[in-house]
Amino acid sequence: MTTITGGCQCGAVRFACERLGRASICHCRMCQKAFGGHYGPLVTAHGLTWTRGEPKRFRSSNKVRRGFCADCGTPLTYELDGHADLEVALGAFDRPAEIVPAIQVGVESRMPWFDRLATLPGRPPERQAAMEVFFAEVVSCQHPDHDTAVWPADPREPR
């Protein structure tokens, strides 16, 4: 069995789960605020265990708590009262590109321009070249996308 892992941006909270359920994109206003974006991407994580730390939680409604890292603020969970399995933020997984959303929910709050995002132009080539120089100089302070034996991670450890 393959263990699926993830964690927050700083590494204070790490998790593992046995398998994933259906992934979704939620457009509801509560997810927009919880994620600080236009939608919340979530997936059910079956057999979830916290392997380092645990999220702090905020009760966003009478039926739901939201988990996040108290150190860096990364949104982590959507916890529906009475349900054992949690929904976990797709971006918190170590390999998020492998988790493909299958459904959109909360569409009554979806931004009216959402369906046109893929048609937006990219940066012009001359601006993109300047940004590539900038990004080449960026040194990430994020926790790497894999488990580490110690936290904070040893800065000499390969990322």
Residue 34: C-alpha distances to residues 66, 107, 108 (Å): 8, 16, 17
Alpha-carbon separation of residue 20 from 48, 50, 106 (angstroms): 10, 15, 21
Residue bearing the bigger pLDDT, 93 or 149: 93
User: Between 37 and 130, where is the model more confident?
Assistant: 37
Q: What is the mean pLDDT of residues 92-114?
A: 96
Predicted local confidence at residue 159, as pLDDT: 46
43-52: pLDDT as tens digits: 999 999 999 9
Q: Which H or E run includes 118?
A: none
The Cα 150–Cα 15 span in angstroms is: 14
CATH class of 4-136: mainly beta
Sequence spans of domains, the chain:
4-136
